[in-house]
C-alpha cells in the first residue's frame, strides 16, 4: 500500500472519529511534502472544511492531533495554512520494508483481465536492421514487458514487409550485379548481402537517371524511364501473377534476410509471439472497402479507384484501392486490424512506429471508426522520435546507416575495453568475461535508448552510453555488482541478513525504503504512458541513492550485529528491485564487474 493511500485511510478515520462524518479515503488529497517544509506527506485540508465547519488551521490541528494519538505509524505533524504535514514513524517504514520483502511478486500489479497486442519491429526485407530499428525493437519489447507487469495479457507481434517494389530492387540488383553470390560464398550475413544489393540498385538507378537527364529528359521522367526501374516494375507484376522463377528468387533472398534478422533479434534478446508477413496479408482489407462502399463511407471514382473523403475531419481524401483494383498500404492495415481484434478478442492494440507515420495512424483510426468498429479508439500509436548520430541522419539508400549488428559488436568492444582497464576481473574465466562484456554492452545500448522519452528525437553516442558514471546502464549494472560483492563478503564471514522487530531505520534508510516502495507506482505510470523512460529513470534514482548511502554508511564493517544485519537485508532487497526494474528494460545485471 502506498503511503498516500495509508494516510488517506487514517485521515478518513480521524474525520469520522472527530466529526462523525464518513469520508471516502480515495477522495482525500495526500501528496509528498514540499522540500521547504518538515514532514513526509501532506494532507490537503480545504476540501474537508464543509465537514469540520472550522478554520483550515483548526481543522488541520484537530486531525493531526488525532492521528498522532491513535496511529503509531505517525510520529509528528505540523500544519501550515490548511496543509497538514505528516511525518511517518520508524515503525511505518519497518512495516513497509517487511511488506516489500515478503512479497515475491512485488512490482507485478493485479490482473486487469485485458489483452493487449503490441506490434513492433516490422522491418523491410531489403536491408539489415539498423539503429532506427534498434530503438523500435527495444521500445516494443520493453513496453510489452511493462504492460505485462501492469497486469495485462500481452501479445508481441511483428509484420514483416516482405513484398513490394523495394524487395524487387534488391532482387534485380542481385541478378544483374552480384554473380550468384550467396551468404556462404560472400561470407556475409544474408540480410547484409541483400542490403548491399539494395544500395547497388540505387547506385545503378542514379547512373541511368543521370544519363537520361543528360540526354534532355526531365529528372522526374528519367527516374520512371530508367531501364532498371522498368525492369523492377515488370518483376513486381510477375510476382503478383505468381511467376515461378520470380517467386523462387524472392523466397530464396527473403530466407537469407530472415536468418539474418533472427540472429540480430537473438543478440538483442527480442522475441515475438507471432510473425505476420505482408505477402500473406496485403490482400486483407478489400472486403472492408466493399463494406465502406455499400455504407456510403467510401466513394468510387470514374477510373475505378476507391477513396475515403476525410476533408470534413480536417484531413484530405485517402486512396484505398487503385484504379487497377490493387490495394495500398492502409488497406492492408484496415484488414489486419479487423482480423486481429476479432481473432484474439483484443482490448487494445499498440503500434510502435516512428513519428513520420503519425498521419497514417490518424487516418487508420478515423476510417475504422467510420466503418463502425467501436474498438477503433482503442488503437494506440506509440509514436517515437528518430535516432540521429552526431554526424546527422542515416540514409538506407546510400548505405550510411549504422547497422544493428555492427552496433552490437562495437558496444561489446567498448564494454571489453572499459572492463579490462578497470582491472577488476582477475581470476574470471574467459567464458564468463565474454558473457559479462555482452551483458554490459547491451545494457549500455538499451538503457541509453530507453531512458529517453519515446516521443523525443534522440542523439546516440556509443561512448557516452558505456560510461560507468552518470545516468547510464553500466552505472546501474556496476551498482548491482557492488551490492553483490558486499553480500558475498558478508556471507563469507557468516553475517546474517535480517531486520529484527523494533529496528529503527535511519533517515537515509527510510529514504531507500520510500524509494523502493514506489516501484509499483512507477510500473503503473510507465504502463499508462507507454514509456520505459519512467522505469529507466527510476532505476537510476535507486542506484544513485544506494551509492550515496554506501559512501556515508558502514555496512559490512558495522560492529553492531543487528544493525549490520538490517543494512545487509536492506541492500539485498534494493538489489532485487533493481533487477526487476532493469528486467523491464530487457537488461541483465551482473553479479561482478
Do 418 and 407 touch, CB atoms closer than 8 A? no
CA dist., res. 40 & res. 33, Å (int): 5
C-alpha cell at 453: 522519452
Average pLDDT over residues 393-414: 73
Other CB atoms within 10 Å distance of the CB of residue 189? 20
**Confidence at residue 23, expressed as pLDDT on a 0 to 100 scale:** 93
HSE (CB half, 13 Å, CA atoms) of 210?
6
Instruction: Give dist(CA 341, CA 346) in Å, integer.
Output: 5
Which domains, from first to last, does the chain contain? Answer: 3-88 (3.30.1360.70)
Per-residue pLDDT tens for 334-349?
999 999 999 999 999 9
Round the average pLDDT of the chain to a whole number and report it. 92
Task: Give CA–CA dist 365/334, Å, rounded.
Answer: 9
- pLDDT for 396 beyond 50: no
Pairwise pLDDT comparison (280 vs 562), residue with the higher score: 562
Does residue 125 have a pLDDT over 60? yes
Quote the CA–CA distance of 7 and 358 in Å, as a whole number: 43
* pLDDT number for residue 468: 74
3-state secondary structure of 265: helix
Handedness of CA 423, 428, 433, 439 (dihedral sign): negative
Residue 549 predicted with pLDDT over 50:
yes
How far is residue 448 from each of residues 272, 476, 592, measured CA to CA in Å? 23, 12, 21
pLDDT value at residue 534: 98
Q: Where are the beta strands (DSSP E) in 96-152?
A: 115-119
pLDDT band at 112 (very low <50, low <70, confident <90, very high): very high
Summarize pLDDT for 206-220 with one digit per residue, the tens. 999 999 999 999 999
Q: How far is residue 173's CA from residue 177's CA, in Å, rounded to a whole number? A: 6
Query: How much is the pLDDT for 326?
Result: 79
- Give the mean pLDDT of 507-522: 95
Neighbours of 2 (CB within 10 A): 14
Per-residue pLDDT reduced to its tens digit, 290-337:
999 999 999 999 999 999 999 999 999 999 998 888 788 899 999 999
pLDDT digits (tens, 9 = 90+) for 473-510: 999 999 999 999 999 999 999 999 999 998 999 989 99
Indicate whether 288 pLDDT > 80: yes
Question: How confident is the model at residue 400, as a pLDDT?
Answer: 54
Other Cβ atoms less than 10 A from the Cβ of 39: the count is 20
Query: What is the DSSP pairing of strand 83-88 with strand 299-300?
Result: unpaired
Q: What does the pLDDT read at residue 2?
A: 86
**22 pLDDT exceeds 70?**
yes
Residue 509 has which C-alpha cell?
534508510
* Phi and psi, residue 462, nearest 5°: -55, -40
- Over residues 244-264, the pLDDT tens digits come to 999 999 999 999 999 999 999
Q: Is the pLDDT of residue 395 over 70?
A: no
Q: Is the pLDDT of residue 399 over 60?
A: no
| 162 secondary structure, DSSP code | -
Please tell me whether residue 451 adopts helix, strand or coil conformation.
coil
The residue-averaged pLDDT of 388-406 equals 64
What confidence score (pLDDT) does residue 392 get? 52
- Of 69-78, 391-400, 503-512, the range with the lowest mean pLDDT is 391-400
Give the whole-angstrom CA distance, residue 209 versus residue 188.
30
- Whether 49 and 65 have beta carbons less than 8 Å apart is answered as no
| Percent of the chain at pLDDT exceeding 90 | 82
Question: Cα separations (Å) of 119 from 140, 284, 317?
Answer: 7, 17, 27
Through-space distance between the first and last CA atoms of the chain, rounded to whole angstroms: 35
To the nearest 10°, the Cα dihedral for 576, 582, 583, 587?
Answer: -120
Spatial contact of 322 and 353, defined as CB atoms under 8 Å apart: no
**Three-state secondary-structure class, residue 277:** strand
**pLDDT tops 90 at residue 453:** yes
Find cell 474537508 and name the residue. Answer: 48
Question: Based on C-alpha coordinates, what's the Rg of the chain?
Answer: 30
The CA distance from 238 to 243, in Å, is 5
Residue 389 has pLDDT above 80, yes or no: no
Cα atoms found within 13 Å of the Cα of residue 495, Cβ hemisphere only = 26
* Length of the chain as a residue count: 593
Say which residue the cell 488551521 belongs to.
57
pLDDT of res. 398: 47
Q: What is the 3-state secondary structure (H, E, C) of 498-540?
A: CCCCCCCCCHHHHHHHHHHHCHHHHHHHHHHHCCHHHHHHHHH
pLDDT in the model for residue 583: 98
Adjacent-strand bridge partners of 80: 83
Pair 565, 496: CB distance under 8 Å? yes
Q: Residues 181-199: pLDDT tens digits?
A: 999 999 999 999 999 999 9
Amino acid at each position: 500500500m502506498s503511503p498516500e493511500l495509508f494516510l488517506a485511510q487514517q485521515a478518513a478515520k480521524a474525520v469520522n472519529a472527530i466529526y462523525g462524518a464518513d469520508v471516502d479515503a480515495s477522495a482525500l488529497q495526500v501528496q509528498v511534502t514540499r522540500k521547504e517544509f518538515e514532514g513526509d506527506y501532506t494532507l490537503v485540508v480545504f476540501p474537508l472544511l464543509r465537514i469540520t465547519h472550522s478554520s483550515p488551521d483548526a481543522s488541520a490541528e484537530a486531525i493531526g492531533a488525532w492521528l498522532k494519538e491513535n496511529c503509531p505509524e505517525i510520529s509528528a505533524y505540523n500544519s501550515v495554512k490548511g496543509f497538514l504535514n505528516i511525518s511517518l514513524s520508524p515503525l511505518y517504514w519497518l512495516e513497509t520494508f517487511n511488506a516489500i520483502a515478503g512479497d515475491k511478486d512485488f512490482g507485478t500489479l493485479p490482473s486487469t483481465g485485458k489483452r493487449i497486442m503490441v506490434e513492433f519491429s516490422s522491418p523491410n526485407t531489403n536491408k539489415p536492421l539498423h539503429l532506427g530499428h534498434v530503438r523500435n525493437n527495444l521500445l516494443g519489447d520493453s513496453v510489452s514487458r511493462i504492460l505485462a507487469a501492469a497486469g495485462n495479457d500481452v501479445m508481441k507481434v511483428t509484420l514483416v514487409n516482405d513484398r513490394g517494389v523495394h524487395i524487387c530492387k534488391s532482387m534485380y540488383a542481385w541478378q544483374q550485379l552480384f554473380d550468384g553470390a550467396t551468404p556462404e560464398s560472400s561470407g556475409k550475413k544474408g540480410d547484409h548481402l541483400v542490403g548491399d544489393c539494395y544500395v547497388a540498385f540505387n547506385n545503378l538507378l542514379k547512373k541511368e537517371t543521370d544519363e537520361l537527364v543528360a540526354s534532355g529528359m526531365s529528372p522526374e521522367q528519367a527516374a520512371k524511364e530508367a531501364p532498371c526501374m522498368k525492369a523492377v516494375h515488370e518483376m513486381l507484376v510477375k510476382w503478383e501473377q505468381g511467376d515461378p522463377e520470380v517467386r523462387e528468387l524472392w523466397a530464396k533472398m527473403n530466407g537469407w534476410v530472415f536468418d539474418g534478422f533472427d540472429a540480430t533479434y537473438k543478440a538483442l534478446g527480442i522475441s515475438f509471439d507471432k510473425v505476420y508477413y505482408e505477402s500473406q496479408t496485403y490482400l486483407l482489407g478489400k472486403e472492408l472497402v466493399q463494406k465502406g462502399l455499400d455504407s456510403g463511407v467510401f466513394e468510387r471514382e470514374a477510373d475505378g479507384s476507391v477513396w475515403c473523403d476525410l476533408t470534413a475531419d480536417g484531413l484530405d481524401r485517402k486512396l484505398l484501392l487503385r484504379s487497377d483494383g490493387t490495394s495500398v498500404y492502409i488497406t492492408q492495415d484496415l484488414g489486419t486490424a479487423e482480423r486481429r481484434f476479432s481473432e484474439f478478442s483484443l482490448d487494445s492494440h499498440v503500434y510502435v512506429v516512428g513519428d513520420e507515420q503519425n498521419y497514417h495512424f490518424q487516418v487508420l483510426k478515423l476510417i475504422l471508426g467510420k466503418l463502425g468498429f467501436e474498438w477503433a479508439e482503442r488503437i494506440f500509436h506509440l509514436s517515437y522520435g528518430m535516432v540521429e548520430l552526431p554526424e546527422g541522419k542515416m540514409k538506407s539508400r546510400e548505405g550510411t546507416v549504422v547497422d544493428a549488428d555492427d552496433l552490437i559488436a562495437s558496444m561489446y568492444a567498448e564494454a571489453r575495453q572499459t572492463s579490462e582497464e578497470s582491472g577488476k576481473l582477475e581470476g574470471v574465466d574467459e567464458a564468463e568475461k565474454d558473457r559479462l562484456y555482452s551483458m554490459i554492452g547491451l545494457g549500455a545500448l538499451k538503457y541509453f535508448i530507453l531512458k529517453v522519452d519515446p516521443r523525443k528525437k534522440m542523439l546516440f553516442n556509443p561512448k557516452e552510453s558505456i560510461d560507468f558514471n552518470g545516468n547510464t546502464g553500466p552505472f546501474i549494472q556496476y551498482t548491482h555488482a557492488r551490492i553483490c560483492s558486499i553480500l558475498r563478503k558478508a556471507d563469507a564471514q557468516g553475517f546474517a541478513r535480517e531486520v529484527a522487530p523494533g529496528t529503527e531505520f535511519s533517515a537515509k534508510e527510510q529514504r531507500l525504503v520510500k524509494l523502493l516502495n514506489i516501484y509499483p507506482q512507477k510500473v503503473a505510470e510507465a504502463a499508462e504512458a507507454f514509456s520505459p523512460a519512467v522505469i529507466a529513470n527510476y532505476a537510476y534514482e535507486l542506484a544513485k541513492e544506494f551509492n550515496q548511502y554506501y559512501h556515508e554508511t558502514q555496512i559490512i564493517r558495522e560492529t553492531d550485529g543487528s544493525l549490520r544485519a538490517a543494512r545487509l537485508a536492506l541492500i539485498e532487497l534494493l538489489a532485487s528491485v533493481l533487477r526487476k526494474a532493469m528486467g523491464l528494460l530487457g537488461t541483465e545485471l551482473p553479479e561482478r564487474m
